[in-house]
Chains A and B, each alone.
Chain A
Amino acid sequence: MVDSSKGSDYKRRAVYTALSEFISGDDLLKAMCLWQEEYADAPRHANNQFVAQVLNGTLLASKHAVIHLKLTTILLEKDPILKPDPLTDMHDYLVRKKGRDHADKVLDHAINSVVATTTQDGTHKNVKAFELLVNEFINNVAQTDKEHFAGLNVAMSNAAKTLNRDNDKLLSLIEWFEGLSLSIPNRIDTDTLRSVLNAGYVEACNKVGPVVADTALSDAVKKVELDVSIKPFSPRDLL
């Protein structure tokens, strides 16, 4: 079975590896930035549209099927040999072409971001948004069901423990859930945060039902979106 839960960093490396056989230099980085901006979270079938958009108006347009096949194959392979993450090069490219602000905006929430901006208190914006969102989500659930909301912390903490990621980073996350620290000091990739939040959502569905869980999370997102301290990061990237 295809593991579609592979992180965005893995997918980015896979797309980069596949495309690098056909294009190079700035063209390749431009394509990768397009993927990051519009297709990183899209379903697998959107790859066809991505390839078409990359090749549009180029001499490679006739190779659409070959490139798409290569991309699909590498994404489905179990243990492909992948090139290193091109995120730094992508950032440099965007800074050169469109300025630092645009580069930060596009790549700010990318996985293992090397350019992640921080809030005034030094926390990374995706982590800050996560903290706010989780707190708001739990508060919203608590307003509906005082009995079960405490279980959400435990579920998210347990989910963090099961993730096969960097232990130091996860430890800070777990400590925050268990109330041992007031904030999460480490930079943590958005994929990890998303998985942990989803575990909380699943727990909320089981404990208080999907209607309450959906409403609580939706309301939380709307409230956190208004917080200027996390901008330009959007809490929707954690969903």
Chain B
Amino acid sequence: MFSNRNWFVVFLCIFFSSSAIAADSALSQAAGDSVWIVVAGALVFFMQAGFALLESGMSRTKNSINVIMKNFVDASVGSIVFWLIGFGIMFGINQSGWFGTSHFALDHAEQGDYTFLFFQAMFAATAVTIASGAMAERTRFSAYIFGAVIICAVIYPVYGSWVWGSYVEGTGWLSEKGFIDFAGSSVVHSIGGWIALAGVIVLGPRLGRFNEDGSPRDIPGHNLTSVALGGFILWLGWFGFNAGSTVAADESIGLIALNTHLASAAGAVGALFTMMLLRKKLLMTLTVNGALAGLVSITAGCASMTPMYAVITGLIGGAVMIFSTLMLEKMKIDDVVGAIPVHGFAGVWGTLAAGVFYQEQMFNVDIIIVQLIGIAAAFLWAFPVALVMYFLIHKTVGLRIEAIGEQRGLDYSEHYEIGYPEFHNENLHKEIS
């Protein structure tokens, strides 16, 4: 039992601590912001685990280690390259509106800058890893890493500076036009999707992916359970991705998180509904991709839509993903995990939806035109540059593995490491000594 004296001490503690909070409210807000951004950044980092599980699960056993390696090295190399070069181009002083010119290899800065850099490095790692799944099962590892470096140093940050490049001084040209992309439907996802499209075009499809009549042939992944787990992890991480983009611990994060969740759920439902309408099999992989398409779709407008429109955005995002998957298959473009439909096409829809359903000025033609300009700019920048980049890599280092490597599997031929040694006899390579 507390004595009267103890109660008095407790009262004094509460009184003085609340006085201190009142006096230092500005400091507390900054600290709170910092805590929230770092936690959100950690959630975005956790998305890498989601990508790794989803992409490796959709690959065959003989290529699973290679996919994981690409994800892991994306996060590692991507973060360092972004710190060295990308952050400066994306968020440095941006007088021209086209790219930043300061804050390279940030080493002496305000505390808030470090927090912001940490959060943005996670975004860059996400953008660069999108292509890995699409290009899985036939890409030479070293060539892929070359590409990842250029993406993180140039392709991603240049477009990012057009949209978000007003962090220090100056502003990006798209930002000045009023382009809305709150957390990166275009900046992160469409850019990643178009890079992936360029990559798979240069690579060509996997051996036997299409029949002689051009119809697609299924090459099932080896672990659909991990695909589902990866999908859930991405869904979780997206709360940090979108709600963290406030870059402040304020009241708006509740709406953003709710919109994110509803759009993801609606994306899965939209994909299911579309598969039913098209009388297709109700595939789990496409349902997971539907949820991801819903997440990508809401990323641009999650802070400027009401929940009702978030649901509509997600539903349509799921449908867009299904239709674009079928379209790519008809075009004989082999995207192993569906990264281009999920990130590229759903990103386009999401960016458009952010303008169409903009809370205070719904269906405003001027806003929609700006959104369309931003969407076109993303494609016209990322796709041709990535196409040239991958073409040059293909001609120098060699982007695609030889047929014998594809037969043996990239785990063996690229890493000399086996993902599933207990199933060794099932694999098509000689024994590792």
Residue positions of A touching B, CB distance < 8 A: 1-2, 4-5, 37-38, 41-43, 45-46, 194-195, 198-199, 201-202, 204-211, 213-214, 217-218, 221-222, 234, 236-237, 239
Contacts and interface: CB of A to CB of B under 8 A. Distances in A.
B206 A210 contact: yes
A86 to B, nearest CB: 20
A205 B208 contact: yes
Contact of B407 (A4, A38, A42, A198): A198
B92 to A, nearest CB: 36
B207 interface: yes
7 contacts: A5-B402, A198-B404, A206-B207, A206-B212, A209-B208, A211-B220, A218-B426
Contacts of B408: 239
A201 B433 contact: no
A46 B402 contact: no
B177 interface: no
Interface string B391-433: 0000111100011100110000111100000000111111101
Contact of A202 (B60, B207, B211, B425): B207
A1 B429 contact: no
B430 A195 contact: no
B280 interface: no
Nearest to B403: A202
Shortest 4 CB-CB contacts between residues of A and residues of B: A205-B208, A236-B430, A205-B207, A210-B208
Contacts of B403: 198-199, 201-202
A239 B396 contact: no
A1 B413 contact: no
A206 B398 contact: no
Contacts, number: 76
A215 to B, nearest CB: 9
Interface of B: 60, 206-209, 211-212, 217-220, 395-398, 402-404, 407-408, 413-416, 425-431, 433
Contacts of A38: 433
A194 B404 contact: yes
Contacts of A222: 425
B398 A2 contact: yes
B398 A43 contact: no
A130 B378 CA distance: 52
A210 B427 contact: no
A239 B415 contact: no
A29 B402 CA distance: 31
Contacts of A239: 407-408, 428-430
A237 B408 CA distance: 11
Contact of B397 (A1, A37, A41): A1
A204 B217 CA distance: 13
A210 B219 CA distance: 7
A209 B414 contact: no
A46 B407 contact: no
Nearest to A2: B398
Contacts of B430: 41, 234, 236-237, 239
B429 A209 contact: no
Contact of B404 (A2, A195, A211): A195
Contacts of A234: 430-431
A218 B428 contact: yes
Contact of B428 (A43, A46, A199, A214): A214
Residue of B209, B413, B430 with most chain A CB atoms under a 10 A cut-off: B430
Given A202-B407, A207-B212, A239-B428, 7 more contacts: A37-B433, A198-B403, A205-B207, A209-B217, A210-B206, A218-B426, A221-B428
B381 to A, nearest CB: 28
B410 to A, nearest CB: 10
A210 B207 contact: yes
B207 A43 contact: no
Contacts of B426: 218
A4 B143 CA distance: 14
Contacts of A198: 403-404, 407
A43 B416 contact: yes
Residue of A2, A195, A217, A236 with most chain B CB atoms under a 10 A cut-off: A236
Contact of B429 (A195, A210, A236): A236
A1 B395 contact: yes
B63 to A, nearest CB: 11
Contacts of B414: 43
A75 B208 CA distance: 32
A217 B426 CA distance: 10
A155 B427 CA distance: 23
Contacts of B212: 206-207
Contacts of B219: 209-211
A201 B407 contact: yes
A43 B431 contact: no
Nearest to A198: B404
A176 to B, nearest CB: 21
A213 B208 contact: yes
Given A209-B208, A209-B217, A210-B206, A46 B416 contact: yes
Nearest to A221: B428
Contacts of B407: 198, 201-202, 217, 239
A226 B425 CA distance: 13
Nearest to B217: A209
A234 B430 CA distance: 8
A205 B208 CA distance: 4
A4 B402 CA distance: 8
A217 B433 contact: no
Contacts of B433: 37-38
A43 B413 contact: yes
Nearest to B395: A1
B416 A42 contact: yes
A213 B217 CA distance: 13
B420 to A, nearest CB: 13
B396 to A, nearest CB: 6
A214 B408 CA distance: 10
B422 to A, nearest CB: 15
A32 B362 CA distance: 73
A2 B396 CA distance: 8
A52 to B, nearest CB: 15
A231 B36 CA distance: 64
